[in-house]
Chain A
Amino acid sequence: MTQRNLWLRAVGFMLATLLLAVACAWLLFGRGRSPVQTDLLAMLPATERNPLAEVAAQRLAHANGNRVILLAANKDDEQAKAAARELGQLLAKDKVFASVTAELPPFDLQQLFAPYLQHRFSLLTEADRQALAQPGYDPRQALAQHINEPFVTGVGTRLQDDPFGWLQHWLEQQPWSRSPLLPEDNLLTAHRDDGSYVLVTATLSGSAYDDGIQRRALAVLDQAEHSIEHDHPGTRVLRTGALFYAATARGDAERDVHRVGLISTLGIALLLLLVFRSPRPLLLAFLSTAIGIVAATTVSVLVFGQIYLLTLVFGAALLGEAVDYSIQYLTARANAGSNWNPGQGLRQVRPALLLALGTSLLGYALLGLVPFPALRQMACFAMVGMVVACLSVFFLLPALLQTPAKPLTHVSVRGALVLQSAISRCVAGRRGILLGAMSLLLALPGWLQMHHDDDVHLLISPPSTLVAQEKQIRDVTGLGNSTQFYLVQGANEEQVLQREEALEQRLQAMTDAGQLQGWVGLAGMVPSLQRQQANQALIAPLFAQAGRTHQWLHEAGFRDADIDRLLQAWPGTPLHLQAWLKTPAATPFRYLWMGDEASGGAASLVLPQGDASNTALQQAAANLPGVTLVDKAAGVSQLFGRYRRYASLWLLAAVLLIVPVFGWRYGWRSMPSVLAPPVLGIGFTLAVLGYLHHALTLFHWMALMLVLGVGANYAVFLREGEPHVTHRPGAMYASVLLSAATALLSFGLLAFSSMPALQDFGLTLLLGIGFTALLVPASTASRISLS
């Protein structure tokens, strides 16, 4: 290859890189919204077979996404209320909050309840239904009992409009009547042993996942909290809402990216400098990696439209693997000494690089088969990054590395040689077999102690302080997010409500038995027409003969004019869902109706409240047509479990895929020794994880796939490289150790990440790459002992 050709290729490659860099900059910063996705729920895979269930889960997660719930708490009631008022006023000053509610608007009782009067003969509580259905029901006695109720009667509805109290009872069991928060001094307040809690809610003027909104809202909140804590000593502010979770997730991920990125960059730079004794290899190695990462980011954003936090953190760690290709080329140059020819050097490392790239791509492609958006993105990111980093070695580096280099540091080569020959001696011949058998025996108890964990907290582990605050707010107010709900589907509105009623009957039984705190569903607020007709049919006999009814009411003491009005109002009209949904009373519950979203049918959501197990909730839905329990967390956990089981099989499949490749390249006799280091590395890693009582997760298995890929790379590098450096024994192993050290520096640091999934990933790679790097001299041991 001529020098001119080398430069042409390099310039072409650089131009393409510049284009990529511009595209990447535009994608990341040029558009209004950052493509970094801080909504952790968005990372979760689709778990539901029913597509509407996914829509419902998304909708529920975002229904309150832009709402912030705050509680001002103080031992002293007056202080708590004053603090809440001030908090409300301070927040309302900033435009980042579209609305802030602390003090309640004035209201008019009659206006709220008057609309229900026309439906009063269609709405009955379960207790009244049962009473009316009893054969011995005596209307005169029922009237007497109602008007003589102890203490008070006819609150909310006027006694003459509702002489039996049916509507009053029905209104009393509506969810808005059951809120643990009481309006006091115009504030929604709850009292506990440790003081008063006052509710303040605010709605953001934009998405809680919007970077700008997040920062501004948090700044305003922090300042407001600070000043009310100062003005009202002893006040605590409890907060919950998607805003806080998203901001924390972003903060954690940014910290991880900075820490992992910075430490690994510095560490790798130092190592490269020490080994190559010149800044140029260092700069080129980073250039090659940087190009890979820019390309990976660009393609990921183009393909997925956004980039997940997990991918960013993982991407920071990918440095360590992408740098391997340039290290191999740089080592070849250092080892060639004054005979260096960039084109020839490239031809020398090409088979090793291609084979290594092939095995890596194989590993990541398997990762990409998992149907998790986040994992697919990680796989896509890694594959693009690897390919481009490798291409940069083929196209860019030769032009920039035309002059010969200093040989590798003597210490590093000497050290590597000592280690390599020590290991080779240990694993050669009978001693090797004995040692292998012993280590397998030692690993056995570790394997026996392996166990599994598939919980969703692996991917989403919000800080415990936020979780504790949310729990406390839920305990005090009954408000809070739930990822468990029922999706009720039917051919039309009426069928959906009927099916809800069947479900709610079971949920009410669970509530009565104390298994559930309660439930919220539309059918409790708007019964099906069938139920309303049945209610009316229960009342009908009492109104069958107007004269008789008149007489009962008259005897009970009601005025004739009122009785006539009541009789004229009979039978009234049923309450229709669509009409009800338009009333102000329905506002907080409108999101429960999914009607418009269902194609070819109607659907609604029913939310169980309280801490019932998935099994108990599942039982409540058993054999009810059209009712599905959607439990996102459980769904994801199940999926984790399923893929963890597949992952172990995939690992085996990947090993089996590599067998013929190595067999073809190195011959069937040598194949086992090339394959042994990564396979044993995986085996020992599993044993150590077992000894550590680390519950194995899907992420451990994914990391093991990478160990296989990276470990096979090392065996290949060593095996392919040795013949070219016979003049410097140990130089090739030194380069492998360098690769391993860079990988450990980047992936290993993930073990200190804030995300449990990445911690598992990092620890496994730390162990796996460590073991494999130590075992890899075995792949050439037979050859050394032969020669």
Chain B
Amino acid sequence: MSCMTHHPRGLLNRFAGCALLVLLLVCCSAHAQNTDLLHSIIDRLSQHSAVRASFTQQRQSPALTQAQSSSGQLLFVTGHGMLWQVKQPYQQTLALTGSRTMRIDADGHMQPVRSERGINQISQMLQGMLTGQLDAVTRQFDVQADGSAAQWSLHFTPRQSRMAQVLRGIQLDGGNYLQRIRIIMQDGTQTDIQMTDTHDAGPLSALEKHALDVP
């Protein structure tokens, strides 16, 4: 009865979720794909259930005169989400759990950044995928793999016209670990995330467990 509409916003606010989703999928799904390379990439990535890395995000937008850069640490936990801890040029910690985005202040106090329900649906899709359904991603994207298992690239092109109106494509590069994510929007905005010093996470702190809802 409520929102019987064909608005595209539903799609758009899920977009951030989708990018995260692709990342999560690739990082953790151990399930077969049609190409051997994709299979072995996923196989390789899924050996790590929790990883830490340093990241640098570069963004070029037609609205901005210069490229924007931010860097910090990330913690990725399969099936739970990611802590995105920016150190430069400002300090901010975000918990991206698929179901919502929370801001965590210096005292560990969590505050919702957005109160929308939208990404909750992504979370459902996500849970489905993490239990072995690559379909969710292949329904939204055409996936192409190049390179070797030691140094590979995955290209994601949106299949849905509504998403293709905003997103041109996503590219992931990596070896043992995911090394780079590139997101190109139709308006020309490019986001390039480089990950270095990636390693298995080891034990999580109480705050990390709390933020990502890890038991």
Q: Which residues of A contact B (CB under 8 A)?
A: 63-64, 77, 104-105, 107, 109, 112-113, 125-127, 130, 141, 144-145, 147-156, 158-160, 169, 171-186, 188, 191-193, 201, 478-482, 508, 512, 518, 520, 556-559, 562, 585, 587-588, 607, 609
Q: Are B65 and A183 in contact (CB under 8 A)?
A: no
Query: B151 within 8 Å of A by Cβ?
Result: no
Which single member of A149, A183, A479 contacts B6 (CB below 8 Å)? Answer: A183
**Residue on B with the closest CB to A63?**
B1
- Enumerate 24 A-B pairs (CB-CB under 8 Å) in ascending A order: A104-B6, A112-B7, A112-B8, A127-B114, A144-B70, A144-B90, A148-B69, A148-B89, A151-B16, A152-B16, A152-B189, A153-B59, A155-B12, A172-B12, A175-B3, A177-B116, A183-B162, A479-B1, A481-B1, A508-B115, A557-B64, A562-B63, A585-B7, A588-B2
Any A CB within 8 A of the CB of B53:
no
Determine whether B196 belongs to the interface, using a CB cutoff of 8 Å to chain A: no
> Is B68 a contact partner of A152 (Cβ separation < 8 A)?
no
Instruction: Give B1-36 interface residues, CB cut-off 8 Å to A.
Output: 1-16, 19-20
- Asked whether A479 and B2 contact (CB < 8 A) given A158-B63, A191-B136, A558-B65, the answer is yes
Contact of B90 among A107, A145, A192, A558 (CB under 8 A): A145
A sample of 12 more A-B contacts (CB under 8 A), given A109-B165, A169-B114, is A107-B7, A109-B8, A112-B9, A126-B115, A144-B89, A150-B84, A154-B63, A156-B9, A193-B128, A201-B4, A558-B63, A558-B65
The 7 closest A-B pairs by CB, nearest first: A557-B64, A160-B63, A159-B63, A176-B7, A177-B9, A148-B70, A172-B13
Residues of B contacting A559 in the complex (Cβ-Cβ under 8 angstroms): 63-65
Query: In the assembled complex, how far is the CB of residue A87 from the closest CB belonging to chain B, in whole angstroms?
Result: 17
Cβ of A183 and Cβ of B115 under 8 Å apart? no
Residue pair A520, B3 in contact (C-beta under 8 Å): yes
B187 adjacent to A158 (CB under 8 Å):
yes
CA distance A480 to B1 in the complex (A): 5
Measured in the bound complex, the distance between the Cα atoms of B85 and A582 in whole Å is 44
Given A185-B160, A557-B64, A588-B5; A127-B113 close (CB under 8 Å) = yes
Bits for B53-65, please: 1 = Cβ < 8 Å to A, else 0. 0000101010111
Instruction: Report the nearest B residue to A587, measured CB to CB.
Output: B5
Assembled-state Cα–Cα distance A84/B184 (Å): 33
Interface of B is mostly: mixed
Q: Which residue of B lies closest to A148 (CB)?
A: B70
Chain A neighbourhood of B153, CB < 8 A: none
- Tell yes or no: B77 within 8 A of A by CB: no
B135 contacts A77, C-beta separation under 8 Å: yes
Tell me if B66 counts as interface (CB < 8 A to partner A): yes
A612–B7 Cα distance when bound, in Å, is 28
A159: shortest Cβ distance to chain B, in Å?
4
A130 to B64, CA, bound (A): 27
Contacts A172-B13, A172-B116, A184-B160; is A151 near B65 (CB within 8 Å)? no
List B contacts of A185 (CB < 8 A). 159-160
Report the separation of the CA atoms of residues A147 and B89 in the bound assembly, to the nearest whole angstrom: 12
Take A77-B135, A156-B12 as given contacts and tell me if A178 and B64 are in contact as well, using a CB distance cutoff of 8 Å. Answer: no
Q: A185-B160, A559-B63 are in contact. Are A150 and B96 (CB under 8 A)?
A: yes
On chain B, the residues within 8 Å of A155 by CB distance are: 12-13, 15-16, 166, 185
A505 vs chain B, min Cβ distance (A): 12
Contacts of A127 in B (CB 8 A): 111-115
Q: Are B66 and A186 in contact (CB under 8 A)?
A: no
Measured in the bound complex, the distance between the Cα atoms of B138 and A77 in whole Å is 11
Q: A63-B1, A559-B65 are in contact. Are A191 and B128 (CB under 8 A)?
A: yes
Q: Shortest Cβ distance from A551 into chain B, in angstroms?
A: 14
Check if A178 sits within 8 Å of B3, measured CB to CB: yes
A161, closest chain B residue (CB)? B63
Interface membership of B41, Cβ < 8 A: no
Chain B residues with Cβ below 8 Å from A77 are 135, 139
Q: How far, in whole Å, are A104 and B86 apart by their CA atoms in the complex?
A: 40
Q: CA–CA, A176 to B3, complex, Å?
A: 5
Contact A173 B115 (CB under 8 A): yes
**By the criterion CB–CB under 8 Å, are A172 and B9 in contact?**
yes
**B179 on the A face (CB < 8 A):** no
Q: Mark B92-115, 1 if CB is under 8 A from A, else 0.
A: 101010000000000000011111
Q: Which of B116, B135, B183 contacts A152 (CB 8 A)?
A: B183
Q: Judge if B205 is at the interface, Cβ distance under 8 Å.
A: no
The CA-CA distance from A508 to B116 in the complex, in Å, is 11
Identify the stretch in B42-50, B117-125, B207-215 within 8 Å (CB) of chain A at 4 or more residues.
Answer: B117-125
Chain A hits for B5, CB < 8 A: 176, 179, 585, 587-588
- Chain A residues within an 8 Å CB radius of B90: 141, 144-145, 148
In the complex the two chains form, is B191's CB within 8 Å of A152's CB?
A: yes
Contacts of B111 in A (CB 8 A): 127, 130
**Is the beta-carbon distance between B13 and A156 smaller than 8 angstroms?**
yes
Task: Give A303 to B117 CA distance when docked, in angstroms.
Answer: 51
Give the residues in chain B near A481, CB-CB below 8 Å. 1
Q: Are A148 and B57 in contact (CB under 8 A)?
A: yes
B139 contacts across to A, CB distance below 8 A: 77, 184, 191
**Is the pair A175, B2 in contact by a Cβ cutoff of 8 Å?**
yes
A125-B70 contact given A153-B59, A191-B136, A559-B63, CB 8 Å threshold? no
Chain A hits for B121, CB < 8 A: 180, 182
Instruction: Please measure, in the bound complex, the distance between the C-alpha atom of A158 and the C-alpha atom of B1, giving whole angstroms.
Output: 31
* Complex CA distance for A349 and B45, rounded to whole angstroms: 97
Nearest to A169 among chain B residues (CB) is B114
Closest CB-CB distance, B77 to chain A, in whole Å? 16
